[in-house]
Amino acid sequence: MAAEEGQVYGCHTLESWNEQLQKGNDSKKLVVVDFTASWCGPCRFIAPFLAELAKRFPSVIFLKVDVDELKVATDWAVEAMPTFMFIKEGKIVDKVTGAKKEELQQTVIKHMAATTLQYQGREDCGQSDGSKERRASADCDKAYGCHQYYFFSLIL
């Protein structure tokens, strides 16, 4: 079963785990994995926020793995819960340990923007004065809004 855009997909089997990682590799999308546990209070605290991020950033694949249910955490050097791994093309590009909302959000934005610019290309946005402003794809437009074009011009 494929993960739905805008939702956190729970990986309960090794097959679904591998399928979702492969989907991320093939699509070159950012994959954010929440390594969690049912007994973990901070994990329960951050879960609604992660669901909110998934809705805000539908171009990112959000996965949830219960470390007691699916024994893949040791393969990814997870030592505490919650741990969020940021994966691009099968490689860990970042990690957030703990229920840190702001750090989690900023890390998603950082890597989503880089992925969007690198893989979805850039679009020219014609301005009323005839000038061109570089901007990222529609996903970033939704995430940041018009007032954030300046952010993208700084990283280009």
d(CA 11, CA 56): 21
Least confident of 1-10, 19-28, 115-124, 141-150: 141-150
Q: Is 140 a catalytic residue?
A: no
Kindly report, residue by residue over 136-146, the tens digit of the pLDDT. 334 444 444 33
> Tokens for 99?
């229920």
Mean pLDDT of the region 14-32: 95
DSSP category for residue 122 = -
User: Residue 68 in contact with residue 38, Cβ under 8 Å?
Assistant: yes
Predicted confidence at residue 129, as pLDDT, reads 41
Query: Does residue 3 register a pLDDT over 70?
Result: no
What domains, with CATH codes, occur in the chain?
8-100 (3.40.30.10)
Query: Does residue 16 register a pLDDT over 60?
Result: yes
Q: Is 43 a catalytic residue?
A: yes
Which of 11, 43, 125, 146 is the catalytic position? 43
Kindly report, residue by residue over 30-88, the tens digit of the pLDDT. 999 999 999 999 999 999 999 999 999 999 999 999 999 999 998 998 999 999 999 99
